[in-house]
């Protein structure tokens, strides 16, 4: 067994899009396994858009990663030593190991993973945080009804994949919005969405024109993953008593909203008022108590082939920064993972 681990720390804070110099690869001594702790050799690390927020020193729902601190993140791997009766070497565990090839955590902060149920990395994707986010937000906040129309951006990403397919299973019309013809074709042909619009290079006006065709009965649920021109295109097409679920706004993670965005506020307020819209933001970590219900409901549908998914996997801890920066630009296709 090795006595060192490799990890990637935040070397400096990005001013807009992250660059290589914001990260540093380090080798440090492996932690001693304390009482009640478990040492895991990580096999897959998850890359998620929220990590961009952790790089900023601004007030948010979670603390920023300190300069020199290990980048935050979830991973899954094999237990190689345990001082807790709940875990044995050879078990698989998922937890917040950070961007590192090993992790030593208290057993109560780990979730045991059964590799016989599904490939272990799906605990970071379709049956992990992104899938859970989609299932919880849609069912608890979206209040979906068969026959309604749902629009979702980043439609072929980790969250969008689950939201759109679950909405289709519930009988909704699903219109995806994604970057490029290949992703749009996948959304319709493989994920079963009713339509998918390529947003790249389009203004809010152009997107609104395409949405009117794709959503002839208006929009009942808008799942906000992106912000950007799509949000503006959607607002005037929301139906009365529609629901807007604020999950993320990746178009703005690297930049502050442009000054002219302030001019949109009256338009948004007016539409929210006259259409009696519900606008609900949520953070999935407030709802872990419902994770088991999600897994019980969704995992069998994946096993039955009713829900499909796709993964973008690069190999080696050193690929984490590049894969992360690529995800922010849409170079991923499905859930972004790094295999160690
Ligand atoms: P994805 O797998 O969807 O990957 C990110 C995708 O964002 C890219 O592939 C790209 O897709 C899209 N994107 C990048 N830049 C833009 C842009 N300027 N405009 C529109 N789309 C863009 O990530 P996730 O599924 O993990 O996350 C989706 C959203 O959900 C994010 O906003 C994330 O922060 C949020 N989230 C929120 C949670 C919560 O608790 N509220 C929990 C988990 C995720 P494309 O090529 O199609 O442009």
Instruction: Find out whether 326 and 332 touch, Cβ atoms under 8 Å.
Output: yes
pLDDT for position 255: 82
- Burial class for 139, CB neighbours closer than 10 Å (0-12, 13-18, 19+): middle
Distance CA 111, CA 288 (A): 12
Q: How far is the CA of 46 from the centre of ligand 1 (A)?
A: 14
Q: How far is the CA of 200 from the centre of ligand 1 (A)?
A: 14
pLDDT for position 36: 97
- Burial class for 306, CB neighbours closer than 10 Å (0-12, 13-18, 19+): middle
Which of 84, 106, 88 shows the shortest CA–CA distance to 97?
106
pLDDT for position 75: 98
The per-residue b/e assignment along 252-291, b for 16 or more CB within 10 angstroms, e otherwise, is ebeeeeeeeeeeeeeebeebbeebebeeeeeebeeeeebb
Q: Which atom of ligand 1 is nearest to the CA of 250?
A: 32
pLDDT for position 2: 81
Pocket perturbation via mutation, ligand 1, pick of 47, 48, 49, 53 by most ligand atoms within 8 A of CB: 49
Residues at CB less than 6 angstroms from ligand 1: 48-50, 129-130, 133, 153-154, 157-160, 178-179, 183, 225-226, 228, 247-251, 282-284, 327-328, 330, 332, 336
Q: Which two tokens stand for residue 55?
A: 């790089």
Distance CA 93, CA 40 (A): 7
Q: Which two tokens stand for residue 320?
A: 């984490």
Q: How far is the CA of 52 from the centre of ligand 1 (A)?
A: 11
Pocket perturbation via mutation, ligand 1, pick of 225, 283, 287, 336 by most ligand atoms within 8 A of CB: 225
Instruction: Report which protein residue has its CA nearest ligand 1's atom 1.
Output: 157
Q: Which atom of ligand 1 is nearest to the CA of 328?
A: 14
Instruction: Report which protein residue has its CA nearest ligand 1's atom 2.
Output: 157
Q: Which two tokens stand for residue 123?
A: 């605990």
Distance CA 60, CA 58 (A): 6
pLDDT for position 304: 93
pLDDT for position 117: 86
pLDDT for position 257: 65
Q: How far is the CA of 328 from the centre of ligand 1 (A)?
A: 8
pLDDT tens track, the chain, 340 positions:
789 999 999 999 999 999 999 999 999 999 899 999 999 999 999 999 999 999 999 888 999 999 999 999 999 999 999 999 999 999 999 999 999 999 999 999 999 999 988 899 999 999 999 999 999 999 999 999 999 999 999 999 999 999 999 999 999 999 999 999 999 999 999 999 999 999 999 999 999 999 999 999 999 999 999 999 999 999 999 999 999 999 999 999 998 767 677 788 889 999 999 999 999 999 999 999 999 999 999 999 999 999 999 999 999 999 999 999 999 999 999 999 999 9
Pocket perturbation via mutation, ligand 1, pick of 138, 330, 334 by most ligand atoms within 8 A of CB: 330
Q: How far is the CA of 225 from the centre of ligand 1 (A)?
A: 6
Q: How far is the CA of 49 from the centre of ligand 1 (A)?
A: 6
Q: How far is the CA of 108 from the centre of ligand 1 (A)?
A: 30
């Amino acid at each position: 067994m090795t006595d060192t681990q490799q990890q990637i720390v935040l070397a400096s804070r990005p001013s807009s899009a992250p660059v290589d110099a914001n990260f540093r690869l380090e080798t440090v001594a492996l932690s001693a396994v304390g009482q009640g702790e478990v040492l895991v050799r990580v096999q897959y690390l998850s890359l998620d858009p929220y990590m961009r927020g952790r790089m900023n020193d601004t007030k948010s729902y979670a603390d920023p990663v300190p300069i020199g601190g290990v980048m935050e993140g979830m991973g899954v791997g094999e237990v190689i030593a345990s001082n807790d009766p709940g875990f044995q070497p050879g078990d698989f565990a998922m937890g917040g190991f950070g961007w590192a090839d090993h992790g030593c955590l208290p057993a109560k902060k780990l979730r045991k993973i059964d590799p016989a149920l599904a490939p272990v990395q799906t605990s970071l994707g379709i049956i992990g945080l992104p899938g859970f986010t989609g299932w919880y937000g849609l069912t608890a906040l979206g209040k979906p009804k068969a026959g309604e129309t749902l629009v979702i951006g980043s439609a072929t990403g980790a969250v969008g994949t689950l939201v759109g397919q679950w909405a289709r299973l519930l009988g909704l019309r699903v219109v995806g919005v994604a970057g490029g013809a290949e992703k749009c074709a996948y959304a319709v042909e493989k994920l079963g969405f009713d339509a998918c619009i390529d947003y790249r290079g389009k203004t809010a006006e152009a997107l609104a024109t395409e949405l009117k065709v794709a959503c002839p009965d208006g929009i009942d649920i808008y799942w906000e993953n992106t912000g950007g021109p799509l949000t503006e295109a959607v607002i005037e097409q929301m139906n009365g008593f529609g629901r807007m679920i604020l999950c993320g706004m990746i178009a703005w993670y690297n930049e502050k909203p442009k000054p002219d965005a302030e001019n949109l506020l009256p338009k948004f307020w007016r539409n929210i008022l006259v259409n009696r819209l519900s606008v609900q933001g949520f953070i999935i970590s407030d709802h872990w108590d419902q994770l088991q219900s999600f897994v019980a409901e969704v995992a069998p549908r994946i096993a039955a082939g009713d829900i499909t998914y796709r993964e973008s996997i690069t190999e080696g801890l050193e690929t984490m920064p590049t894969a992360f920066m690529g995800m922010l630009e849409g170079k991923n296709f499905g859930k972004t993972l790094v295999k160690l």
